[in-house]
A and B are shown apart, each in its own frame.
Chain A
Amino acid sequence: MFPRSWKAVIFLATIPRALALWPVPRTLTTGSSFVVLSPTFKITVNVPNPPQDLLSAVSQTKTYLETDKLQRLVVGRGASDAGSLKTAAVLPSLTLTLQNALPVLPISVEAVKDVASRSEGYTLSIPSDGKPAVLSANSTLGLLRGLTTFSQFWYDLNGVTYTNVGPVSIVKDVPAYPYRGFMLDTARNFFPVADIKRTLDAMSWVKINTFHWHIVDSQSFPLSLPDFPELAQKGAYSASEVYSPADVQDIVSYAAARGIDVLMEIDTPGHTAIIATSHPELVACNQASPWSTFANEPPAGQLRLASPAAVNFTANLFTAAAKVLPGKYFSTGGDELNTACYAQDAVTQADLKKSGQTLEQALNVFTKTTHDALAAVGKTPVVWEEMVLEHNLTLSNNTLVMVWISSANAAAVAAKNFRFVHGPSDYFYLDCGAGEWIGNNPSGNSWCDPFKTWQKSYTFDPLANLTAAQAHLVLGGQQLLWSEQSDAQNIDSIVWPRAATSAEIFWTGAKLPSGAALSGTEALPRLHELRYRMVQRGVRAIAIQPQWCALRPSLCNIDS
């Protein structure tokens, strides 16, 4: 008998079309038997006092099993399976159990624990002899991840729901990295709550566990806070383009029930021009022109970081926003600080002179004070890479850093001994390649051209240029959608299926269960299946190849 890993290799080689799992579990053995879901298929929750969100997840899973109706992506769409299905074993049920998990906590509680202490692993077996399938985990969050995997095994042929890879054994699927995110900018253009919720659903299907919500920026302030209502009243695009406190809670709880933590960002001290609509005294170089002198994009405007009033305002703003969020992290931004803005701002210059500080010293006070305010409400700050690479600030050791400018900067962040998240523009920016959006610049191009294909993103190595001792600093990574050229019209088509690539890199890790390295060639058929399944579930993921190729994946490779 072959060792288990060999079996997987051979299987992948012979029937690569039969594994619609994404992300690939860390351990996986599959057979080649057909198993059909019983018409009376049940999911039994063998958990004492099961939390409501677990019951909802079970109910949602049953709905997917009934309504996905995804035909196999092969020529003939599985019609040749008809004979095998007649004699296939029938799966009567799936039983969920918890191990070593008292008290039983809701998914929503597990999902917002500190990122390093979440329990997302599970064990799943799907027999091919008519016995029930069993899913067990140490937490309700792990059960949710297992349900997600379970729902990806099934195809439809004329109303019969079946898999062709029974029996299945996933001894232990646990994520390689604890942070797997997606960032959405809702300030350059507004996204209605319904679009965010649909995105959260899609994120959960690929086990993304963090929604990094870049909620406000210089262009608009859609976040309505009871303590600062004027910011959205004057800074939102319109009264209807606002996230009310109830909307935020709705999104946070919708996310948490799907195993997703909401990491909110209020970018400071740059990217804050819009605050001037209600607090002009706090913002330097507000809408100053030419904007290109004062900001990387219009409009210019930055918080007067040397002003005690602005520091105080910002600290209170963070407190007001963060105190109603259950997650442990809150991002204060810190990217793209423009020094010309402050150099030309008389108020800032007077503040600096009065306090005898340099701009850099003032930034340190601003950062320390505002981060202390977050700490006081139990939040760990998150910052963009400039705050550790371009500025010399006193940051608490547990500050989380996001790499964005270039993947080449990850090593420098690691050298500073901060934990960090990969979000480099050269691999993970979903907006690149859509051309120039600045007006009156007909020959301009996307600043981060070319488009980042899923294939390119998929080659990302989270540990490149890091020492073994630094590896623990990598919390994970995410793809990001900056929305200068996006909104509800194209969110699905820009994000899916591409954002699934980082989801797999950071769940599955460097190697497939077979021991082989992740490879785009292996992944392509599975990504097609994910895309088609997403379409069945109402997310408008785009075609990554002609359908001819989707039904014959390797035949459209460069070397076939």
Chain B
Amino acid sequence: MKLSLFALSALLPSALALWPLPTGLSLGSTPLRLAKGFDIKIAINNAPADLVAAVSRTKGFLANDKLAALVIDRGASSASAIASAKSLPSLTLSLAFEPKGPCKSISAEAVGPIEGRSEGYTLVVPADGSGAVLKANSTLGLFRGLTTFSQLWYDLKGTTYSLSAPVQISDAPAYPYRGFMLDTARNYYPVSDIKRTLDAMSWVKINTLHWHVVDSQSFPLVIPGYTELSAKGAYSAKSVYTPEDVKSIVAYAAARGIDVIPEIDTPGHTSVIAKAFPEHIACAEATPWTAFANEPPAGQLRLASASTISFTSGMLKAAAGLFSSQFFSTGGDEINANCYKQDAETQKSLSSSNQTFLQALDKFTQDTHAALRSVGKSAVVWEEMVLDNPVKLANDTVVMVWISSANVQAVARTGHRLVHAASDFFYLDCGQGGWVGANPNGNSWCDPFKTWQHAYTFNPTANLTAAESSRVLGGQSLLWAEQSGPQNLDSTTWPRAASTAELFWSGPGGNVQAALPRLHEVVYRFRQRGVAAISLQPEWCALRPGACDL
């Protein structure tokens, strides 16, 4: 017997631990258990090592998740049905076509051109004791399918089972960009925390880590040829990302289907560069900081200075060499005009070149973007670069909307591809109160807290024409780290960032009421895997879907 998804969610609300919800899904109601000798077979010649490793991790999850079903008796009443269920002997992975030569690795697919990535797959789990089959057009698609497969199972006293066989899934993402942004400059995150986050991201099929690696407060990135930046700008000699660290993070991410897009925010948000290169920074640590920056410390690259442009271009190029992504973000948000107005050097440069500020920014941007293009990178910028300070940008530039979702339409009209990252839906740091000192009544600038439910209701194509809608690459949750560090990375990020992951994989229009039981399961499964995702509700509610709805 097969049920439609909606009927099923009413009948077996906690039997659907899939997140993000596959775009094509049919489930049965037959119990099925994993055979003792359950195996995952790769029917591909010379399977790439990262696929073999992904299979091995999946087997680890199947053995170790031990997630008891989120129902009042945690599955105990299904014991006899499970005991008499058929056993699933195996899962076989194959590509939907015979590749010419060795097939590409997950890692290679994950960093390929974003619109050309193949993340879809089909998964069939029969209820009759015959083997399960996972097929895709790429190893990346197979990886996504393995992730889904690992979410089908619960544990009852050592038996790994599902109550929803047979399963038929035909799945592919609605949007090619599903990201998470982490700021490692306001506070530092050790490599192990980033890797744990990458694992968690992969479990909900997030495919991009937007790494806001440096900012005015610290410069933890060690860039070959520019090592003074981190030597003088990191919080400590230990709070750095060496080229080996970056390589290790990029490889770890790629093997999990994640592209790492680095950001070196310019020309604002660069105060810390003054520690090593004071000549390139205007208004370094100028006071009162409120006159020169949105947060302390003030300091911006002297964008009108030829030597600063050359320095920035060289640095960006050198940094880009550490990453395999085709994208590199140059930032461009929150440029403070007063900083440049009061900087004699900048004023001199502007007058000697007879440029306005905007003309100088245009040249700065074109030169630095050209440097990136020379090493094969497309630029990513924040929305101000097309709205507040419209500069000439290459057509392939991707724009991130952050200030407000109300700005999406204006960005889309510029013709650029865009990523949703609006503070009013996707900022994970909002709602934690003001952090600036001597301001006891200060509140979070983007209060209130953005709940998972709020993010989940976002419409990526609101007010957009069909042509404008086609420019939406996807979206992401973002964690700015003024009030975060390794201590609360998991609890601030999870499960909320999963809400956005589903929105951009499964597509908009999801229902928070139907999603909540599944999101509880994400939380409980994450914990079993060592990620400290927080409770969305009392456990009483988690075990009784619907009982705590308004």
Contact = CB atoms under 8 A, between A and B. Distances in A.
A556 B450 CA distance: 25
Contacts of B192: none
Contacts of A442: 451, 453-454, 456-457, 512
B538 to A, nearest CB: 4
A483 B534 CA distance: 11
B438 interface: yes
A459 B433 CA distance: 15
A548 B442 contact: no
Contacts of A489: 490-491, 527, 532-535
Interface in A429-443: 433-443
B432 interface: yes
Contacts of B533: 489
Contacts of A241: 539
Given A438-B549, A547-B235, A487 B442 contact: no
A543 B484 contact: yes
Interface string B167-210: 00000000000000000011110000000000000000000000
A249 interface: no
Nearest to B547: A298
Nearest to A553: B437
B314 interface: no
A439 B541 contact: yes
Q: Chain A CB within 10 Å — which of B188, B449, B492, B516 has the most?
A: B449
B430 to A, nearest CB: 9
B390 interface: no
B236 interface: yes
A74 interface: no
Contacts of B488: 490, 493, 540, 542
A450 B437 contact: no
Contacts of B527: 489
Given A439-B548, A492-B487, A546-B481, A486 B535 contact: yes
B67 to A, nearest CB: 13
Contact of B483 (A437, A492, A542): A542
Interface string B223-243: 000000000000110010000
A97 B456 CA distance: 62
A443 B449 CA distance: 11
A544 interface: yes
A520 B438 contact: yes
B52 to A, nearest CB: 32
Nearest to B496: A435
Interface in A539-555: 540-549, 551, 553-555
Interface in A482-538: 483-487, 489-490, 492-494, 520-521, 524, 535
B10 interface: no
A451 B444 contact: yes
Contacts of B548: 291, 297-298, 437-439
A84 B492 CA distance: 42
A294 interface: no
B111 to A, nearest CB: 31
B296 interface: yes
B287 interface: yes
Nearest to B550: A441
Contacts of B484: 542-543
Interface residues of A, number: 73
Contacts of A452: 433
Contacts of B537: 437-439, 484-485
Contact of A545 (B444, B450, B482, B534): B482
A557 B437 contact: yes
A560 interface: yes
A521 B439 CA distance: 8
Contacts of A441: 453, 512, 549-550
Contacts of B513: 439-440
A372 interface: no
B187 A485 contact: no
A439 B457 CA distance: 13
A77 interface: yes
B539 A542 contact: no
B550 to A, nearest CB: 4
B112 interface: no
A559 B483 CA distance: 20
B308 interface: no
Nearest to B435: A545
Given A77-B236, A455-B439, A541 B487 contact: yes
A453 interface: yes
Given A439-B550, A535-B487, A546-B187, A560 B434 contact: no
Contacts of A445: 448-449
A450 B442 CA distance: 10
Contacts of A521: 437-438
A414 to B, nearest CB: 24
Nearest to B537: A437
Interface in B224-270: 235-236, 239
B447 interface: yes
Given A485-B536, A542-B488, A546-B186, A435 B439 contact: no
Contacts of A187: 538
A558 B491 CA distance: 28
B437 to A, nearest CB: 4
A220 interface: yes
Interface in B413-472: 431-444, 447-451, 453-454, 456-457
Given A487-B535, A542-B487, A554-B437, 17 more contacts: A220-B539, A298-B548, A445-B449, A450-B433, A485-B535, A489-B490, A493-B488, A540-B486, A542-B485, A545-B435, A545-B482, A546-B217, A547-B239, A554-B438, A557-B437, A558-B437, A559-B288
Interface of B: 74, 185-188, 216-218, 235-236, 239, 272, 285, 287-290, 295-297, 431-444, 447-451, 453-454, 456-457, 481-488, 490-492, 512-513, 516, 527, 532-541, 543, 546-550
23 contacts: A188-B538, A433-B448, A438-B548, A440-B513, A440-B550, A441-B512, A442-B451, A442-B453, A445-B448, A445-B449, A450-B443, A451-B432, A484-B535, A489-B532, A489-B535, A494-B491, A520-B440, A543-B485, A547-B218, A548-B218, A549-B217, A553-B437, A560-B296
